[in-house]
Structures are given as structure tokens and as C-alpha cells.
Amino acid sequence: MRVANYPPERLDSPLFTSRSSEIYAWEGSRLLKLFNPEVDPFLIENEKINTIEAYEKGVTKVKCYGLIQIKNRTGMIIESVRGQPLISLAGSYPTTAFGVPKLMVKLQTQLHNTQTNIIRSYNEMVITTLDSQPLSFLTETEKDNILVKLSKLPDGNAILHLDYHPDNIMSDRQSATIIDWMTAARGVPAADVAATLYLLNEGEMIPGLNKAVAMALETVRKLLCKRYLSEYQKITGMTDAEIAPWRLPFLIVRLGVWNIDSEVLILQEKIRAALNE
């Protein structure tokens, strides 16, 4: 990792801001993804590893050039990709919205048909997350019961994104690619589908939306979720029974890794409910 030779205040305004980072224009066609100071260095290192592997396997156009340190913040230099997130694209070109479910499934099945031994195991990731502070609300007995459930789930070597939704797909209407690889893992495809179903159906909406817009988006995303699942199952033959056991592992990861304040109590309730099913 190299140290930038100029202070953060000399950066231009960010092009985009997310919960964990800011995106800045960098040299040439490159971007700087500057992580917030509180982001776990382990997650940043994983995103670097995951992005490099995904690029080398041909499932993303995002090329990673390594990490950089700017004062107390770590950044990752990546290649810019053309286009805009699918959600924004659908807003600009409403007719493209009809093709979103099929495009999501096309890209995700390509991902799930790609094998890796480099990216971390999802099953191991879930077990490790059980020991994190956000999961300390569970009793030891509850954790033991979760480990029993996890021990019955298959492992695998398919690449899983685990944060797969339209905002993490960039498109210029000619081609599309998946971005944002921090939480990627290797495992079985049903685990990734369970994650996407949660994100589309239950994940927190964009903070700060007014009530009317939030209600409209809620309706749209639930319809998108239904069509996405129908298309994925039609293409792959995956059943609801294969997907269902992976809900609990994702709830654990969602709480332990994302740890979004507004979701904590809700996720605690959902984890206990899933544990008792």
C-alpha cells in the first residue's frame, strides 16, 4: 500500500457517497474508492482480493489497481466502468425497467457458474460473524443451535456476491457489469439468491426518502423481486426449498457485517424467528 502525497482536502467533491465509502475521480479513467475511517481493514482487504479475483474470472469489468492510504483513510484504486446503476438507468429510460429482472438473472447465473478457490468461504464467514459484537445478543445455546443448522448446509466454490441488487449493476444500455465486491464469498448459489431476496424484499430503503417516494419504490422493488425469482428459478430449476435454509445465514451476515443502526432490532427479531423455524 502506498501513501498519497497530498491531503484529502485536495480531492474534488465525491462523485458518489455510500454508507461505507466515497467515490472520487482519479488519474485517467480510474476512480478512488475512499473508505470511511470506521470500516474494518479486514473488509477492505477482502474487497481488494474479491475484486481482483472477479475481474480475473471475467465476471466484472472493474479492475483493481491496489490500495492507497490517505491520512487515516484507506482507498482502493479501480477502473471506471461506463454507465450508471440500473436503478438510475431505469429512471432515465423507463422502458429499460422491464428488462431488469432478466438482466439481473443473466449476470448472476454467469457469476454462479464461475468457480473460485481464492475468495473466502461463505459458510466460514457466517461462523466467524457469529462471534462478532452485533451477534452478542444471542445466548450460547442459540449460537450452538445456529451452528447445528449451518453444519447441515452444503459448501461450494461458486462466486457469490451477497450484496446483489440493481444499484450494484452498472449499465450503459449496451452492456452491464457487477460492482462492489466487499462482501463476496464462495459457496452455493442458493445462498446468494437468498441474500438478493432479502435485499429486494426487506432491506432498508435509501435513507431520507419522503414517504410517497418510499412507498412507490417499495411497490416497484417487490414486483422486481417476484419477477427476478421467477426468472432465476425458470433458468436454473432452483427450488424454494433449496433457498429457504440460507435465510438465517444471511440475516446473521447482514447484522454482523453491515451493522446498520436502523436495522439492528429488526434483524435480531428476524434471526430469532428464523432460528425457531
The CATH number of the domain where 50 resides is what?
3.30.200.20
- Which residues sit opposite 35 in a β-bridge? 21
What domain count does the chain have?
Answer: 2
Distance from CA of residue 7 to its chain's centroid?
A: 30
The confidence band for 93, taking pLDDT boundaries of 50, 70 and 90, is: confident
> How far, in Å, CA of 31 to CA of 80, rounded?
6
Band (101; pLDDT cuts 50, 70, 90): very high
CB atoms within 10 A of CB 15: 12
Answer yes or no: do 106 and 218 share one domain.
Answer: yes
Indicate whether 40 and 139 sit together in one domain. Answer: no
Do 146 and 220 belong together in one domain? yes
Are residues 23 and 153 located together in one domain of the fold? no
- The CATH code of the domain that includes 259 is 3.90.1200.10
Predicted confidence at residue 88, as pLDDT, reads: 81
> Do residues 60 and 164 share a domain?
no
DSSP structure class, residue 205 = P
Phi, psi for residue 45 in degrees, rounded to 5:
-60, -40
Residues 248 and 275: beta-carbon distance below 8 Å = yes
Of these ranges, 81-85, 135-139, 165-169, the one predicted with the greatest mean pLDDT is 135-139
Domain that holds residue 88: 84-275
Q: Final residue of a domain: which of 79, 98, 127?
A: 79
Pair (214, 238) in one structural domain = yes
**Tens digit of pLDDT for each residue in 238-270?**
999 999 999 999 999 999 999 999 999 999 999
Mean pLDDT (the chain, rounded): 91
Looking at the structure, tell me whether residues 59 and 88 fall in a common domain: no
- Are residues 27 and 133 located together in one domain of the fold? no
| pLDDT(18) > 90 | no
pTM score, whole prediction: 0.92
pLDDT at 28 over 80: yes
Instruction: Indicate whether 178 and 98 sit together in one domain.
Output: yes
Q: Are residues 150 and 240 in the same domain?
A: yes
Question: pLDDT-based confidence at 94, cuts 50/70/90?
Answer: confident
In this structure, are 15 and 122 located in the same domain?
no
Residue at which a domain ends, from 21, 53, 79: 79
Q: 74 and 95 share a domain?
A: no
- 3-class DSSP state for residue 105? helix
Higher-pLDDT residue of 159, 98:
159
Residue 214: predicted pLDDT? 60
